[in-house]
A and B are shown apart, each in its own frame.
Chain A
Amino acid sequence: MTYKLLIVDDSKLARMAVVKALNSCYPEWQRIEAGNAEDALSAMQQEVPDIALVDFNMPVRDGLTLAADLRKLSPQMPIGIISANHQQEVIDRAKGLGATFLPKPLAEKALREFLTTASRVLQSAAP
């Protein structure tokens, strides 16, 4: 089963790191990249992703605000919040949205675990 992953980060370098890790875990998965929250939401109107990976520290609208919007649009979608800002409040806010906190720099192992768990959740929810 392959899935479509939405990657939102204002840093191109950070998106490259996610893509590199994704290619070594699940190379056949599709990806949609966005550089900010607004682009992510318009991309959502074109094609709906199965899983989202969102950077926290972004200009205009931060990743937790975007995650709350994504949650409204797609209540069951697994969401990962990526940040080097591992303050407890940020982690708690991610948990409060039903999202998983993933520390930056993103380790391939952490991404693999998140995506494997996410695909299990999606498979069990599938009709």
Chain B
Amino acid sequence: MSVDVLLTELELDAVTELVNLGVSRAATNLALMVRDEVVLTVPKVTLMSRQEAIRILGERETKNLVAVHQIFEGEITGRALLIFPEERSLELVRSVVGNDLSLEEIIELEQEALAETGNIILNSCLATIANALESHLRISLPEVLRGESSRFFNLPPPPEAGSTVMFIYINFVVRRRDLNGYIAMMMDMPSLAALQVLLRNLIARMSSGTRA
């Protein structure tokens, strides 16, 4: 199933642009935290099954991944994940806390530094999108998960409406630290329908502005 079955070309363009805005703000914040340039790929917005999402991440990355997970709820409900290879997680923490701390101190801080870093990245992304849509999202506390991608995409409770998800993913690279990861957002079909309404309102606001 492709996303354009449900969304018009303009709606798809709008959602991609919103994600772009959100992720750009998140990347700006990540760059501030790691004091290094963060390079982003163009976000890909696709409708796919959970199995496909698991397969895509599984093909690109090692089995041992770390994810920071947050649930967002409001007119649209879903999950946002910041995912990267587990072997680089200490390096991410080190790049955030700086080089002043010993390895023991970094290991002690790891779990909560990952949660806080994920919280900043995912919140800045979700808040930008919510503001652009003139909607409000409640965002849960961050949770750090470890394991294979299949675990991240099968978190309880299972979705109420089938296993099709809108999967948005974007690759980011922190150049000098050799760090890379993904930001993924998942929502099920009822939320996709709600998102479409919000997108139509946004497009209407934009087009009334251009006619004036």
Contacts and interface: CB of A to CB of B under 8 A. Distances in A.
Interface of A: 11-14, 16, 57-59, 83-90, 104-105, 107
Contacts of A57: 119, 123, 139, 141
B182 to A, nearest CB: 19
Nearest to A56: B123
Contacts of B128: 86
Contacts, number: 58
A107 B137 CA distance: 25
A104 B120 contact: yes
A84 B97 contact: no
A57 B115 CA distance: 12
B130 A87 contact: yes
Contacts of A88: 131, 136
Interface string B111-150: 0110111011101101110110000110101000000000
Name the prevailing secondary structure of the A interface residues.
loop
B112 A85 contact: no
A12 B109 contact: yes
Given A13-B116, A57-B123, A89-B136, A105 B32 contact: yes
A86 B137 contact: no
A89 B130 CA distance: 10
A25 to B, nearest CB: 17
B56 interface: no
Closest 10 CB pairs of A and B: A84-B123, A11-B116, A84-B120, A85-B123, A87-B127, A89-B136, A13-B113, A84-B124, A86-B127, A13-B116
A84 B32 contact: no
A14 B131 CA distance: 24
Contacts of B10: none
Interface in B8-57: 29, 32-33
